[in-house]
Structure 1
Amino acid sequence: MFEILYKDPATIARYRCAPLMEQRERYLRAVVAWGAVGEIARRVARTQLVLMELLDLPDADIPVRLTTVETAVQEWCRNLPAVSAANFRRYAFRWLRFLGWLEEPVRDAHPHARQVESFAAWMRDDRGLSEATVGNCCYESDRFFVWAAGRNLVLADIAIGDVDEYLAARIAGGNLRRTSAGAVAGCLRSFFRFAEVRNWCRPGIAACIMPPLSYPDRPVPKGFDRDEVEKLLATTEGTAPVDRRDRAVLMLLATCGLRAGEVGALRVDDIDWERDMLRVFRPKTGRTDLFPLTPSVGNAVMDYLLNVRPDVGRERALFLTLLAPFRPLKSCTIGTIVHSRARRLGISGKRLGAHALRHAAAQRLVDEGCGLKTVGDFLGHSSPSATATYAKIDLAALRPVADICLKELLDDTA
């Protein structure tokens, strides 16, 4: 392996004579198989030598405590540039995890993990729900039980008051709005309905879980206006790989109104270049929609494919991370792309995630006079009620019309 990475005989000999050659070489082969180019693999090899010296490997106690590694890495990175320090830290921890030599604390758990697993299997196998729905319901159930475990509450003893207290605490914490709280309540209601049938909990809890009131006259979700969308896209006009990738992502979000998860799930094969069509799978509805591939979006995606996207063999996901090991972009990463660039522009007073671009695309259609059926089909909504929020009347825009009508009425009366 070292003969592939280096040409200088003295350098090759230094790496081959260092301790843990088999463990180092095994990981380097895996890194190259994941798609790392030569320079990245050489950085990993240098990190391995430094880390062995810092931790006194292989003579140190294995597995190595997380705090020990943290202290050693921080000391070494003290005088390094931020990017070099981040790379060293990433390579060091990934190698130790690959070998199973890192002793990490167990994440917060709860005593009802098996019940949640059974709930997931029931949703997936018996009800045929999408993986997105299964994941959301399990995430909210796990989060509730972690909260309950902190109060020494077990499933058999939980009452409706405990669920209400949990929802109130989430809302009071400021990270859960009324609409989102309704979704959380729906996930918990589904789990407790499942648990009641199996006599795991007190009967009647599911029927009593009520979401907070959602007022019908709540304002339309604030998305980016047109000027902000243009400024956001302008931040990606550079030639750096991150700019080229992010431009393709932002163009799909802003032009097609896709959800972050839908962009992350796109595959190379979903683009029909001959017909200029984009095939989008909707996890929430389970259907596949076709979008016309406009020249601006197509050019941005093509530029990314030709100049940025790494050749990683069998991986067919459209958008990948920029550093090895190359992985498909997650929804949270796509949201961070939008949020970080909006923050740099100084945009505030609204949500700055990927969904804000979706709202902006929908509002643009409404402003241009498209009917709600058209907007709903464009957004992939399965219910008209999901689109109805965009039907709110802009009173400021309506006032001139009312003034005209009132003037005509007064003239006729006279």
Structure 2
Amino acid sequence: MKTQVGIIGAGPSGLILSQLLHLQGIESVVLERKTLDYVLTRIRAGVLEQGCVDLLHEAEVHQRMDKEGFPHDGFEIAFRGATHRVDLKGLTGGTGVMVYGQTEITRDLIEARKAAGGTIIEEAEVTGVEGAETDNPVIHYKKDGRDYTLTCDFVAGCDGYHGASRKSIPANLLKTFEKVYPFGWLGIMSETRPASDELIYTRHERGFALCSMRHEKLSRHYIQCSLDDKVEDWSDDRFWDELKRRLPENVADTLETGPSIEKSIAPLRSFVCETMRHGRLFLAGDAAHIVPPTGAKGLNLAASDIYFLSRGLIDFYKNGSMAGLDAYAGKALRRVWMAERFSWWMTSLLHNFPETGGFGSRMQDAELDYLFGSQAAMTSLAENYVGLPYE
């Protein structure tokens, strides 16, 4: 097969890129290792920056989000048994966030690509990218036990941390950075009323907790746990009991509990591959960077990558200019590192770090006391949470 842009991965970043290119008359083929039904079972984040919301509008997949999503003007931080509200709109001059699940975004994008006759090849396992430094790179993949090739002008690697895209870049050219945190998040999804109208982040002596939601009858809750913990060690009752211990009493007393419909443990880490471009191969999303979920930046960073990459590709096909593509990595990385910094700061502020001891714990307490008493500090938090400008 031949196409203009070969896209590896049918997650949100790959599908948004394919949709944006289609609207500009640019052909693409999306290769996905799993089935699309499997892709839609992945439980991921749901807090969208305004920039991500705007990009979904540009991609013309915003109708259901506008109808069913939940605009949030703020969130709460629980500390020493009390909650402190971060007024996002008030502190940023009118900008909030949108709560709409990543699974629903993916569903909307798949339906849009199918309606437009877009090509998504399921169960296509990419084995490598050849000729990235030429004008016609080739993606090699396997499907149904047979070998295939997809020749294209450009390759977008949107296939996640474990995908083949980054592995296709020569190891001596890769420049990576990583920080692994000494804990994970145990999360459950339940068909219960959310704990609050807004997200609640909790710093507690027993560990971090987060009360989130997908809609008025679907809640997502997390607690900090040991990396040695296993999902089967945590019954629903044990999880709810532990979550209540970490929440302020007034929240715990009204918390609606129920059977989990999904339960998992996610380790926390930060990762950046600064080699986001190799010839005509471009990395985007989790293929290039991972952030701890504390700052709600994973999907939003993928969206900003696609913002820059789509504009570079559109400029090439409309005007024959490589300027946007040449600038892609620099623009994307500037925003990546700022989001990494914010996610690291939020994680460091709200979690228990056994190795820091009493001094480190007192520093976290002092930081929170300062935050709640400083308009400037709260504004900085709000500006980063709602998302820094793309340009």
**TM-score range relative to shorter protein:** under 0.3
- Larger-Rg structure: 1
Normalised to the residue count of structure 1, the TM-score between the two structures is 0.23
Compare the two structures and name the one with the higher helix fraction: 1
Larger RCO (CA within 8 A; separation ≥ 6): 2
Give TM-score, length-normalised by structure 2.
0.24
Larger % of strand: which? Answer: 2
